[in-house]
Amino acid sequence: MPRWLWFAPLAVLLVAVALFGFRQGWIVANLTETDVIEAMAARYLAEAGPQARASDCVARPGREVWLVVACGGPGMWEYRVDRLGRLKERFGPGDPRRRLDGPRT
């Protein structure tokens, strides 16, 4: 058996890891605040019912997350999103777990 064949699995693993890292970097580099706000507004429309409008949603920077998207006015729906665009926390109307999260300082 040729010696290079012993290192082929390692080479395949390294290429796979490099492609995964490139893909994740590409996603982060091309993800905008607008993309996140639109995605969370679509989620709000699905959860809040027919009276909801996408224009009810606004976003602000969060302390422990990238963006906090608030929809439906104060105390209503709130979505906390990390830098990769993943939803970290969701609070509905009157949720007792909600905590205040002002702008970053």
pLDDT in tens, 27-82: 888 889 999 999 999 999 998 888 889 999 999 999 899 999 999 876 689 999 99
Q: What pLDDT is recorded for position 74?
A: 64
Close Cβ partners of 78 (under 8 Å, ≥ 6 residues apart)? 68, 69, 70, 71, 89, 90, 91, 98
| Mean of per-residue pLDDT scores for the chain | 86
Specify the 3-state DSSP secondary structure of 50.
coil
In this predicted model, what pLDDT tens digit does every residue of 19-31 receive, in sequence order? 999 998 898 888 8
Measured distance CA(69)–CA(87) in Å, rounded: 10
